[in-house]
Amino acid sequence: MRRTRLMHAGLAALLMLGSWAAAGTLPASASDSPDTPTLSTGLLQAMQRDLGLSKDQAEARLKAERTATELAPTARRAAGAAYGGSWFDAESGRLTVAVTPDASPTTVRAVEAAGATVQTVEHSARQLDAAKARIDRLSAPSGVSSWHVDPAANTVVVNVVDDERTDNDVQRFVSQARKTGPVTVRTVRDAPETFAAGTVGGDPYYTGNVRCSIGFSVHGGFVTAGHCGGAGAGVRGWDGSYIGNFQGSSFPDNDYAWVNVGSGWWTVPVVLGWGTVPDQLVRGSAVAPVGSSICRSGSTTHWHCGRVLAMNETVNYSQGAVHQMTKTSVCAEGGDSGGSFISGDQAQGVTSGGWGNCSGGGETWFQPVNEILGRYGLTLHTA
């Protein structure tokens, strides 16, 4: 019994996938391959609940998103220097690739031949990324929530907290940001916060008096959020038994960490379903485009879904800025930090923070899992 509970607790935290994402399982219709796992009823119900889709719409969207995810790298290479970014268009069910006006007819045809829809924009992705990098070097006041490149709008979006938009420091930051390149200012309801929580009995893992959620299994341990514990800190499981230690941790600037696993605990390529969906397999870490549906699982609020809103966003927490984050419309609450974001059967990242809650809604950021794997030389445990 103890080993069974340990495995489920470890998995749950390890792979707290996002709702449908937790699927190492796409519907049979998502691929012509007979090896494609079948989506569970619970998984589709989670998408229907959080995204307002019918069962058929959820299945069709997963199929289209898998195609877009596989297509994105090819389309980017085809666009070359004219590349202006890409995103998944839920209405058409296709990947849209932006190109600048100087793209040759040959380039446009190559992108279209790859299977993407082409949209002409003024600024290249390189120009927008350079503008964002210049904003990253500015000192942001607390009234500035975050900033990211929006490929569909072809601009750098700076998000400011609504109640502080007239603050002198916020206005000064916005003025400086506008000098870096094309910038659009938007307002958000609240400032971002991390989602760690004080100790609550029976949840996935603890370090000191903090409870967090395990992200994804890697060979030798699991990845999670850096703000949950510093390097060397001990980690305990749901039953108080020793799991391992933080082998590496970074926060702020980044928000990632990894923990070694031992003492009777082990890793598997599974995300705990929390009784909402069956435990799911993880099969890779291909990056889902902006606009894709995505789900999250954590030890507090379990399974919830939403959309990828932005990539490479800089989030301005009270502890300092964190870079290269992905923003989603998925809700989260204290204790969900470190948990899994997944799209289809592809691991996306570990929960960092956000604003709002799962009663009134909100937004949540995650640190991309591939960045964590590369930073620490880890290998994702896949089925």
Secondary structure, 3-state, 58-70:
HHHHHHHHHHHHH
Active-site choice (250, 285, 292, 337): 337
325 three-class SS? strand
33 is catalytic: no
32 is catalytic: no
Strands (E) located in 162-229: 183-188, 193-194, 197-198, 205-207, 210-212, 216-218, 221-224
The residue behind tokens 């929390």 is 274
* CA torsion angle 194 325 259 197 (round to 10): 10
CA 118 to chain CA mean position, Å = 25
381 is catalytic: no
Q: Let me know the angle formed at the C-alpha of 97 by 92 and 103, rounded to the nearest 5 degrees.
A: 135
Question: Pairing relation of β-strands 302-317 and 293-298?
Answer: antiparallel
Structure token pair of residue 94: 């296709």
Q: Which of 299, 339, 315, 334 is nearest to 216 (CA)?
A: 339
How many CA within 13 A on the CB side of residue 379?
A: 6
- State the Cα–Cα distance between residues 289 and 274, nearest whole angstrom: 27
Q: What does the DSSP 8-state code read for residue 37?
A: P
What lies within 8 Å, CB to CB, of 137 at 6+ separation is: none
What lies within 8 Å, CB to CB, of 129 at 6+ separation is: 149, 312
Active-site choice (50, 255, 279, 336): 255
Report whether 308 contacts 328 (CB < 8 A). yes
Tell me the sheet residues that pair with 327.
310, 365
- State the Cα–Cα distance between residues 292 and 325, nearest whole angstrom: 16
- State the Cα–Cα distance between residues 336 and 302, nearest whole angstrom: 8
Active-site choice (227, 302, 304, 381): 227
Element (H, E) at 111: helix 105-114
Tell me the sheet residues that pair with 97.
86, 118
Active site residues: 227, 255, 337
